[in-house]
A and B are shown apart, each in its own frame.
Chain A
């Protein structure tokens, strides 16, 4: 296999170009997120929250944070997953990867013990979603151990675990609080007629593309496990 020979300057330029930090500047918000593959959500606003600051670095001061909210909450051209904003087409692969990986044993046991809690949440969202987590009763059987120092820890922990696994979705925000709903009401419809096998293949292709896009110029990393299951 060919090993490419790069100068340091070439290597740096490739890394900067892959992050859309050269000229010409990109002009389309959704296109930027698709090419970067995701925006990390971090609320620290000493200057501006991370997702906004990353978009300003690329798009310049023509970028309006309201456009990001509109893309997520109205147009659904982007979606919020736990701690990240992503193009919706990537979400099946992200969920498949979580479902294929083995959960942390502690989390796996907590989810088994709290299956009735999970079903309560899904039933409530079915009839009344979208809801803020503070409006979802904590019917947990076993508390999450760090509970007690923040309100509603069990409910938030369960909602995030279910969101990672594609059983609930973040539908929007009210300030820093998230609205939760059933995934089919948030994520754009998936191509129909694709059976589980085809969906799995698609998710694998997407995961491969995510990896291809993500690591432009990085130190080699060990191979990862193949995906075994697909989406919501």
Chain B
């Protein structure tokens, strides 16, 4: 059984990569998204760090005072960049989505922050909670 995809090199990155050829040269229209800590885009932490320059670990097993981004921080995707983490908690009894912090790896532009806020509102709507920050 051969390897999947074909060999590729990425300018500025070490090593060789594998790419599925039909995905080459496609137009791209990005959006903003909040991701699960287990999302496959970030699941391989080494790949996320090399490819996206994104430093991230799930900190639920860390003592509270040692956490940098929160118990269950959601990676924030903006177009093709991983740009930050949302520290939020669903308080179901209180009917609230509590936003503890929005961690910006690099300071967000106003339009990025607006887009992140819209995603937080959508997340709360989906969870049938009110945003509380």
Contact = CB atoms under 8 A, between A and B. Distances in A.
Interface of A: 1-19, 21-25, 36, 40, 42, 44-48, 50, 53-54, 56-57, 60-61, 63, 204, 207-208, 211-221, 223-227
Contact of A223 (B1, B6, B89, B90): B1
Contact of A60 (B30, B50, B71, B122): B122
Interface in B55-88: 60, 71-72, 74, 77, 79-81, 88
Given A8-B10, A56-B123, A216 B39 contact: no
6 closest pairs, A vs B, by CB? A46-B72, A61-B126, A53-B36, A4-B8, A12-B80, A211-B4
Contacts of B126: 56, 60-61, 63
Nearest to B90: A47
A212 B5 contact: yes
B10 A7 contact: yes
A227 B1 contact: yes
Interface of B: 1-13, 15-21, 23-24, 26, 28-31, 33-41, 44, 46-47, 50-52, 60, 71-72, 74, 77, 79-81, 88-90, 97, 122-123, 125-127
B62 to A, nearest CB: 14
A177 to B, nearest CB: 21
Nearest to A1: B7
B31 A21 contact: yes
B41 A6 contact: no
A99 to B, nearest CB: 16
A93 to B, nearest CB: 11
Given A54-B36, A217-B18, A5 B7 contact: no
Given A7-B10, A56-B126, A42 B47 contact: no
Given A216-B19, A220-B15, A6 B10 contact: yes
30 contacts: A2-B7, A3-B6, A4-B7, A5-B9, A6-B10, A8-B13, A11-B10, A13-B80, A15-B80, A16-B41, A16-B80, A17-B28, A21-B33, A21-B35, A22-B29, A24-B29, A36-B40, A46-B71, A48-B90, A53-B74, A60-B126, A61-B126, A207-B1, A212-B5, A212-B20, A215-B4, A219-B16, A219-B46, A220-B15, A223-B1
A218 B47 contact: yes
A9 B10 CA distance: 9
Given A6-B8, A54-B36, A22 B18 contact: no
Contacts of B44: 218
Given A4-B7, A4-B9, A21-B41, A57 B1 contact: no
Contact of A47 (B5, B50, B89, B122): B89
B123 to A, nearest CB: 7
A48 B38 contact: no
A23 B90 contact: no
A4 B30 contact: no
B24 A14 contact: yes
A219 B74 contact: no
Contact of B88 (A3, A21, A45, A47): A47
